[in-house]
Structure 1
Amino acid sequence: MVIVDSMAKQELSSSLIDLVTKMSFDDISVKLIVSKTSYNRQTFYYHFQDKFDCLQYALSGLANQLTLDMNYESWQECYLKIFRYIDVNREFMQHIVGSQAYSLFTDFVLQSIDLMLRGVLNLIQGDTSSRKAKEQPWKLFEYGLQGIIINWFMGGLRENPELLVNDLLDIDLQHLMMLLGIDSNNTVHNSKHIQNAL
């Protein structure tokens, strides 16, 4: 039963992703989503409250997949990967941004950044569950990184992300730790990884 449920959620959310690649999210109905799958409306509503819930699930999965493939030795490269992913999938993203689901795009960006920073921190510290980061600086930095991506996207993706990141975020790992409010005395540094990232 659980396996079937998981497969249904995946197939329904994949159907929505395919549709949003071709048309505005606002023009997509639940009926259209299920018509591209082997499931019906009842199954859809068993798994999701509405199409917004389905899109949120799909975007969360994409953020997880995106950050799984990152090489956390250079946090700037990880950050650039988010820009590149959005650029490659720009039509999909534009169909979300130009719709009533705009906030789900901003949530996707923020979730990707949060997962990225936790991956970088995990590489440096080991287990992120024991990190000594202060929530306020961490969130402030995340929202700053989110704002850069959103402004770039809303500006028509005109600026070269590499130049943008190099100009604004020439920050080594030690300074990154400070910006995140992490006590470096409680951090076990892996010197090889830090040297590679500097």
Structure 2
Amino acid sequence: MVAQHTILVTTMPGKKTQASLASLNLSPTQFSQAESLLHDMEPKKRRRLTHLTPDEKIMRRKLKNRVAAQTARDRKKVRMDTLEQQLSDMETLNKQLVNENNRLKTQTSHLKLENAQLRERLGMQVTGDVDVEIKKEPVLPESAVLSPPQQDRVQALYKMTMSFISVLAILSLTYGWTSSPKLKTPKRLTKSLRPLKPSPSKKTPTIWWGPQQKSWNPSMNL
């Protein structure tokens, strides 16, 4: 039969907690393990170094300082390794950004040169360097946007159209003047007129009006 034991566990200084393991029905091995575990959980007190000589105390203090310094050096080394890795990553990223920036600058210069060449082909004058500034200008009519050769062509076509319209108007007026019967020229009027010949005079029979007529009704005043 297992004997019952009572263990006192101290969690904080000045406070005691009594725990009974009797109701757990533990074997002797389990009981010893639980007891050692509870003993380790107790707060450790600083031991007095009365059994050490002054020289041993000095050596012990030096050893502790060495251990603390080595621990600090190890932590510093880990921190420096981390910082060096971050620095190398940042340098690599910086190189990539510089290369990308140079590539974009080269591409921009090529595009500006190509833009200037296209403007020269279109007949637009490019003064100064290759850099072309974009300016906001009011919207112009279509005739102002055209280049000088195109404006000359448009003006010539406009003049030809107006002259053609004027010729058509003159022809239509002339045709209407000549075809109207009321506005004939004097020559046509003289040709169309024929000399009038005197017709032979015919004697009209005189009819005597008198009482023999049915409508004879002379006025009584005569």
Give the structure with the larger strand fraction.
2
TM value normalised by structure 2: 0.17
The structure whose residues are more often helix, as a share, is: 1
How does the TM-score come out when normalised to structure 1? 0.19
Larger radius of gyration: 2
